[in-house]
Amino acid sequence: MSIDILEHFGKFTEQWSPRIVGELNGQYVKLARLQGELVWHSHENEDELFMVFKGTLILEMRDKTVEVGEGEMYIVPKGVEHLPKTKNNEEVFCLLFEPKNTLHTGDVEHEKTNNDQEWL
């Protein structure tokens, strides 16, 4: 079954609350609507892929900042502390690809942390 990614972004409005759209080889494919910033965190044992469909995602790391534009992706290596945020507070549509056991904000608990993510 094919999945219309942009259509699925229209099925939810919550920010920083990823939705699962697929599963393969122990990994989840998730969609997230982002605006503003999340929280500094890391994933000790998992890499995290961000692919942007709309807007510009800023990934601050302690030693550099990466801008990820529409149609681009970036992989944050495991163990690297990062702060995802959006450019100029615009809304970003992002696809995430990460192992099923990945905690939303790693070991950090925050009001935006959501480890109980729903399937679309």
Residue 51 placed within a domain: yes
List, for residues 82-120, the tens digit of each pLDDT value: 999 999 989 999 999 888 776 555 555 656 555 566 778
pTM of the model: 0.83
Q: Is residue 1 part of a domain?
A: no
- Asked if the structure places residue 41 within a domain, the reply is yes
3-state secondary structure of 93: strand
Confirm whether 70 is domain-assigned.
yes
The CATH number given to whatever domain includes residue 82 is: 2.60.120.10
CA distances, 104 to each of 37, 70, 110, 112 (Å): 14, 22, 10, 9
Q: Are the CB atoms for 38 and 16 separated by under 8 Å?
A: yes
Neighbours of 33 (CB within 10 A): 21
Residues 1-21 pLDDT 10s = 789 999 999 999 999 989 999
pLDDT at residue 113 in the model: 54
pLDDT digits (tens, 9 = 90+) for 28-82: 999 999 999 988 988 888 898 999 999 999 999 999 999 999 999 999 999 999 9
- Name the residue range of residue 66's domain: 20-99
Domain count, the chain: 1
State the pLDDT at residue 31: 96
Domain contains 44: yes
Bridge-based pairing state of the strands 27-34 and 73-76: unpaired
Q: What pLDDT, on the 0 to 100 scale, is given for residue 68?
A: 97
Evaluate whether residue 33 is within a structural domain: yes
- Domain membership of residue 52 (yes or no) is yes
pLDDT, residue 8, reads 95
Say if 117 falls within a structural domain: no
